[in-house]
Amino acid sequence: MRHRTSTSRSRPGSVLERDVGQSASVARQDDIGSADATTLITDLPYGPKAAEIAREAVAVALHGTEADLLDDARLITSELATNAFASGSPPLVLCVDRTIPTTGGLEVEITVTDGGCSHSPPSSPPAPEEEAESGRGLVIVGALADAWSLTTGTHGTRAWCRLTREPSPSTTST
């Protein structure tokens, strides 16, 4: 099975396609000039390797960001990909949007979609049993993300979250 990774800018004709594990990231300036943004989209394998491939793709998309943001994004993505494999059906797709607003800082949106599931989602993530080895994924996402949502259905499931970082204070002195 061939997996595709695309990193694109908003302008037509600026899409890179590569096999998983060879993805690339391209910085861009919006046509309006309002913000720098990069989007990485990749198919994930429907299997136990989904989380590993997703973490690697996020590391590519967020190359050069601060370590704590990268760690949070990798953990969240791993949880979302694992949930998609465990509860959903193929295809699994990861999308990472990295935006630097004109005001500074950084905004990262991570979306994992799958082909859907046959059961209804809980209205809120259930609290895992203390001794349980699983069941903490959405609790972790909720704790680390600034915003998140989960939409499930028989024809597709979408797990989305946003991480934001404020601009660093100026280090110039007078």
Q: What are phi and psi of 29, to 5 degrees?
A: -110, 125
Range of the domain at 94: 4-124+152-165
Any idea what the CATH number is for the domain that residue 114 is in?
3.30.565
Angle between helices 67-87 and 137-144 (to 10 degrees): 150
Residues 106 and 132: their CA atoms lie apart, in Å, by 35
Q: Is residue 158 part of a domain?
A: yes
Which 3 state secondary structure label does DSSP give 99?
Answer: strand
- The answer to the question of residue 16 being in a domain is yes
| Amino acid code (one letter) for 57 | A
Specify if 137 maps to a domain.
no
Q: Per the domain annotation, does 138 fall within a domain?
A: no
Looking at residue 129, its pLDDT comes to 57
Total domain count for the chain? Answer: 1
Task: Give domain status of residue 131, yes or no.
Answer: no
The answer to whether the beta carbons of residues 20 and 53 sit under 8 Å apart is yes
Model confidence over 2-38: pLDDT tens digits?
A: 444 444 444 333 333 334 344 434 444 444 445 688 9
- Report if residue 135 sits inside a domain: no
